[in-house]
Chain A
Amino acid sequence: MSTPDAGLLVALVGNPNTGKSTLFNALTGLRQRVGNYPGVTVSRKSGTCDLGDGQKVELVDLPGLYSLAAASPDEQVVIDALSGNIAGDRRPDAVVLVVDATNLLRNLFLASQVAELGLPVVLVLNQADVAQEQGLRIDTALLSRRLGGVPVVLTSAWKGEGIPEVRRGLADALSRRTPLKRVVWPADIAGALADVAQAAAADTGKTVSSADAQRLLFDTNVSTAERLGWTLERREKPLRAARDRVRNSGYNPMAAEPLVHYAQLRVALDGVVSEGLGKAGRTAAVDRLLLHRVLGPVLFMGIMLGFFASVFWLAKFPMDWIQLGVDWTKGVVAPSLEPYPMLQSLVADGILGGVGAFLVFLPQILILFLFIGILEDSGYMARAAFIMDRLFSWCGLNGKSFVPMLSGFACAIPSLLSTRTIEDPKARLATAFVVPFMSCSARFPIYALMCAAFIGPLYGPGWESLVMVGMHCVGLVFAVPTAFVLTRLVLKVKPQPFVLELPRYQMPKPRDVVWRMWQNAAEFVSKAGTVIFAITIVVWALSYFPRDASVAERIRAAHPTESAEKVKARAQAAYVEQSYMGRFGKAIQPVFDPLGFDWKITVGVLASFPAREVIVSTLGVTYSVGEGAEADSQDLRKAMQDAKWPEGPRAGTPIFSLAAVLALMVFFALCSQCGPTIATLAQETGGWKWAAGSFVTMTTLAWVVSMAVYQVIIRLT
């Protein structure tokens, strides 16, 4: 990250879901992820902001929080950042305070706490367009005067309105260094705060600011005391005395702070906001339908079904085009390499067979993220969390756990990081443990392959969507009882109250939705070109070598009447069986035999433990190599449809029976097959114990449930 000219650091602070990240993107020109639900930003992101007069500052986007009384790790990050307590970062030179223009009173509570830090402030009243729609008029000049003369700017960050004014306001705040007006404490509370500051300073030998004294007096959280090094034995007595003093003046020490702040904020806001006629009731009317006790969950399921049906329907043609492109490339490249069979197999069966099989799913991934983006930005995702809260409270978690679990449907890694928004460490641990059960987008290609090759052709497109939704629910179905056992029996998590701010419905911003779709597509293609490409080459080598040339001769001698084509196909099959991969797969296959997996699927499953999406390219390679060069024009789906058990009691029957297809999908839905997820879980839980527990639990569960699915269906069909 480049250091701006003046080396000034500015922090972006505000309540969750006030549009901080959107404002950050507008001010820096970056593309930090935004979402129309709370908790999207869980770690520090920074960029350079041009103030318009040639001066540049470093702008830091911090997680949203409601108050400076830190309860969760992400809130502690903000407090540490504002007090200059972050390794490698200094105290900010100014703060851009983002507040929701439609709810000034509640949002300004945080602002009045930040005032205690004495930093220059620009107050940004964001979502001004919505305030206007609701008929609210805000006198920014009056508000500025009431708050001590700090710059107050009205913006609509997602529309890009008011951004130059924020830049000018920031330049003004930095030059005039005007802080927000501080709250005036009643005499007894001021006295109690002074007592605490004095006692802490005397015991620790450190300077104790008024902000520190307030956190020590008003919070049950001990992070400030720990930072100052004020031990429990030393602080217990003076804190009790100070809290008694507050109590004797008629205030509850734990409630005094919001009471005093809100009383003074009401005075400051008197006459600032005037209300007219607006459209405030529109969101409420839609919510009456979408959050209905019975209709809400039904509509949720309907939306999800429509979502997956559209993904299949819209992606069908582009997928066929990519497949045609891959086949065409094979058709051009393979004949030119005819004199070099080893190189021909590497390029046609290995690289094009493996990477091609993976790339075919690009259109589905693109459409999947387009719909996720629309659902997030419209504000429906927060409603989904609200609907799921009932289910989650049964298993000892709450809707706050749903936000990480919901984003787990895209990728488990950022979801594990977003568990930092959960205050209770035990609830956080339980949530982190079950997040990998969520059906991430890496599982999507294997579901899509199986549905497109077997479910759709056999049962019709309606069943395709239904099985797809079902597979996305399998993880959730097992996550809920797992969380129940963890929260109720192992960790004994106390019931958690759930407060979720439901954002207003808004039209998704095409630029943001397309940008997110583009980012995911770029990641998918880059993965295909790097990791999948490299693994495909390794899998090809293991499926190709060793290759005994006399095998073909022996087969020809054993089957003298068979055509050259047939002999060649037999030789190809024999080569693969004798390869390292064939021998290894056959040795391990008995473990997966009760699940209906042949040795090729077994190889795919084992190769997918570092990254589950590898299964598609591995099947692409093993089935291409096994089928020989003449089968190159067939895509993977066709090769799998034709695959039959060569020997044993199932000889001649399809390997990919309905039972095996569903068992394979269930196995992938539940198995822990992602190295980075396990490592992140270890990192976030502070050791390998829980990560190892997650791996063993998920993998065992996957085997048992998949085996049950196969054995039951095979007996019924």
Chain B
Amino acid sequence: MNLEAVIVGAVVGVAVGWLARRWLAAARRRKAGGCAGDCGCSSKLKPKK
């Protein structure tokens, strides 16, 4: 395998990995009752149980 293929493979791999990690983090945030979007409003108020 040549260096060009290694570089391209690494770039594509990092992009896929980053997108997957971001998607998983959003799912975890939603599960914890936080914001589902990208607007950063994770300090949503929740009444005491």
| Interface-lining segment among A177-185, A430-438, A530-538, A586-594 | A530-538
| Distance in Å: Cβ of A504 to nearest Cβ of chain B | 29
Residues of A within 8 A of B26 (CB): 675-676, 679
Interface residues of A in 318-366 (CB under 8 A from B): 340, 342-343, 346
Say if the beta carbon of A699 comes within 8 Å of chain B: no
Residues of A within 8 A of B19 (CB): 531, 534-535, 538
Residues of B within 8 A of A77 (CB): 45
Say if the beta carbon of A682 comes within 8 Å of chain B: yes
Is there an interface contact between B46 and A679, defined as CB atoms closer than 8 Å? no
Residues of B within 8 A of A413 (CB): 35-39
Query: Which of the residues A46, A86, A531, A680 comes within 8 Å of B37, measured between beta carbons?
Result: A680
* Complex-state Cα separation, A605 to B22, whole angstroms: 22
Say if the beta carbon of A411 comes within 8 Å of chain B: yes
Query: Which of the residues B7, B30, B41 comes within 8 Å of A679, measured between beta carbons?
Result: B30
| Distance in Å: Cβ of B33 to nearest Cβ of chain A | 8
Is there an interface contact between B47 and A534, defined as CB atoms closer than 8 Å? no
Interface residues of B in 11-47 (CB under 8 A from A): 11-12, 15-16, 18-19, 22, 26, 30, 33, 35-39, 41, 43-47
Q: A45 and B43 in contact (CB under 8 A), knowing A342-B8, A537-B11, A679-B30?
A: yes
Residues of B within 8 A of A680 (CB): 35-37
Residues of A within 8 A of B45 (CB): 43-44, 77, 80-81, 86-87
Say if the beta carbon of A85 comes within 8 Å of chain B: yes
| Distance in Å: Cβ of A189 to nearest Cβ of chain B | 29
Query: Which of the residues A44, A411, A535 comes within 8 Å of B43, measured between beta carbons?
Result: A44
Is there an interface contact between B30 and A85, defined as CB atoms closer than 8 Å? no
Q: A417 and B8 in contact (CB under 8 A), knowing A85-B48, A86-B48, A538-B16?
A: no
* Complex-state Cα separation, A43 to B44, whole angstroms: 6
Residues of A within 8 A of B15 (CB): 533-535, 537-538
Is there an interface contact between B4 and A676, defined as CB atoms closer than 8 Å? no
Number of interface residues of B (CB under 8 A): 27
Is there an interface contact between B36 and A682, defined as CB atoms closer than 8 Å? yes
Is there an interface contact between B47 and A679, defined as CB atoms closer than 8 Å? no
Is there an interface contact between B11 and A87, defined as CB atoms closer than 8 Å? no
Residues of A within 8 A of B46 (CB): 86-87
Nearest-CB residue, chain B, relative to A343: B4
Residues of B within 8 A of A523 (CB): 38
Residues of B within 8 A of A346 (CB): 8, 11
Is there an interface contact between B43 and A342, defined as CB atoms closer than 8 Å? no
| Distance in Å: Cβ of B5 to nearest Cβ of chain A | 7
Say if the beta carbon of A220 comes within 8 Å of chain B: no
Interface residues of A in 411-452 (CB under 8 A from B): 411, 413-414, 417
- Interface core residue of A340, A411, A534 (most chain B CB under 10 Å): A534
* Complex-state Cα separation, A342 to B10, whole angstroms: 13
Interface residues on A, range: 20 to 34
Residues of B within 8 A of A340 (CB): 4
Is there an interface contact between B18 and A414, defined as CB atoms closer than 8 Å? no
Query: Which of the residues B4, B41, B47 comes within 8 Å of A43, measured between beta carbons?
Result: B41
Is there an interface contact between B47 and A86, defined as CB atoms closer than 8 Å? yes
Residues of B within 8 A of A538 (CB): 12, 15-16, 19
* Complex-state Cα separation, A414 to B9, whole angstroms: 38
| Distance in Å: Cβ of B34 to nearest Cβ of chain A | 9
| Distance in Å: Cβ of B38 to nearest Cβ of chain A | 6
- Interface core residue of B5, B16, B38 (most chain A CB under 10 Å): B38
* Complex-state Cα separation, A44 to B43, whole angstroms: 7
- Mask for A67-81, Cβ within 8 A of B = 1, else 0? 000000000110011
| Distance in Å: Cβ of B43 to nearest Cβ of chain A | 6
Is there an interface contact between A87 and B37, defined as CB atoms closer than 8 Å? no
| Distance in Å: Cβ of B24 to nearest Cβ of chain A | 13
| Distance in Å: Cβ of B21 to nearest Cβ of chain A | 10
* Complex-state Cα separation, A627 to B45, whole angstroms: 52
| Distance in Å: Cβ of B32 to nearest Cβ of chain A | 11
- Interface core residue of B4, B15, B39, B45 (most chain A CB under 10 Å): B45
Is there an interface contact between B36 and A679, defined as CB atoms closer than 8 Å? yes
| Distance in Å: Cβ of A548 to nearest Cβ of chain B | 15
* Complex-state Cα separation, A531 to B5, whole angstroms: 23
Nearest-CB residue, chain A, relative to B30: A679
* Complex-state Cα separation, A108 to B43, whole angstroms: 29
* Complex-state Cα separation, A87 to B48, whole angstroms: 5
Is there an interface contact between A343 and B39, defined as CB atoms closer than 8 Å? no
Interface residues of A in 638-695 (CB under 8 A from B): 675-677, 679-680, 682-683
Say if the beta carbon of A201 comes within 8 Å of chain B: no
| Distance in Å: Cβ of A41 to nearest Cβ of chain B | 11
Residues of A within 8 A of B11 (CB): 346, 537
Residues of B within 8 A of A541 (CB): 8, 12
Q: Provide a sorted-by-A list of 17 A–B residue pairs whose CB atoms are within 8 angstroms.
A: A44-B45, A45-B43, A81-B45, A86-B46, A86-B48, A87-B47, A346-B8, A413-B36, A534-B15, A535-B19, A537-B11, A538-B12, A538-B15, A676-B36, A679-B26, A679-B36, A682-B36
Hey, which bits of chain B sit against chain A, CB under 8 A? Answer: 4-5, 7-8, 11-12, 15-16, 18-19, 22, 26, 30, 33, 35-39, 41, 43-49
